[in-house]
Amino acid sequence: MAKGESEKAKERARLEKIQIQQTIEAETEAKVAEFNLIKEKKQFEVEQFKAKSKKIAADAQYYENAKLVSAGLTPQEQAEWNYKTAVGVAGQLKDLNLPQTYIQGSSGNKNDNLLQSLIGADLAKKMMDNNNK
């Protein structure tokens, strides 16, 4: 009978050892889960803070842009507008075809000018005659 009691004691010790290991594993899993929960909460707080920071920065940019729009063009926009205008005018002037021939009226009057050749000699003369009267 001592042998039977000894076998029971060994089996009980083995089962207790398994139970202790399972308990330790369960406690470890619970601690890991608790740590992960804390980590997730902290990550949520960090992301929430980042989102608030971005919103505040966006609101500040919106406010600044609204003030600039209400004040008119910014210096940078004015410079860009002037640059684009100058480039456009230069392009137009580059493509402008001026007359290659100067037509002088038959009057021989030394007061003839380039305006007469561009508009038309007769029309310019009529305008000059009306101004002289």
**For range 11-34, the mean pLDDT:** 94
Inter-residue contact 124 to 115 (CB < 8 Å): yes
23 vs 91 pLDDT, higher one: 23
**Rg of the chain taking only CA atoms, in angstroms:** 48
Which residues lie below 8 Å from residue 105, measured CB to CB, with a gap of 6+?
112, 116, 121, 122, 125
Q: Which residue has the tokens 């089996």?
A: 11
In a domain, 44, yes or no: yes
What is the domain range of residue 24?
A: 1-71
Distance CA 46, CA 35 (A): 16
In a domain, 129, yes or no: no
In a domain, 48, yes or no: yes
In a domain, 78, yes or no: no
Q: What is the pLDDT of residues 60-106, one digit of tens each?
A: 888 887 887 777 777 787 788 888 888 887 777 777 676 666 566 55
Torsions phi, psi of 74, nearest 5? -75, 160
- What total of structural domains would you count in the chain? 1
Chain Cα centroid distance, residue 126: 60
In a domain, 118, yes or no: no
> How confident is the model at residue 6, as a pLDDT?
87
In a domain, 123, yes or no: no
Which residues lie below 8 Å from residue 111, measured CB to CB, with a gap of 6+?
128
Residue 16 scores a pLDDT above 90: yes
In a domain, 85, yes or no: no
In a domain, 95, yes or no: no
Q: What angle do CA 84, 100, 131 make, to 5 degrees?
A: 85
Q: What is the pLDDT of residues 47-60, one digit of tens each?
A: 999 989 988 988 88
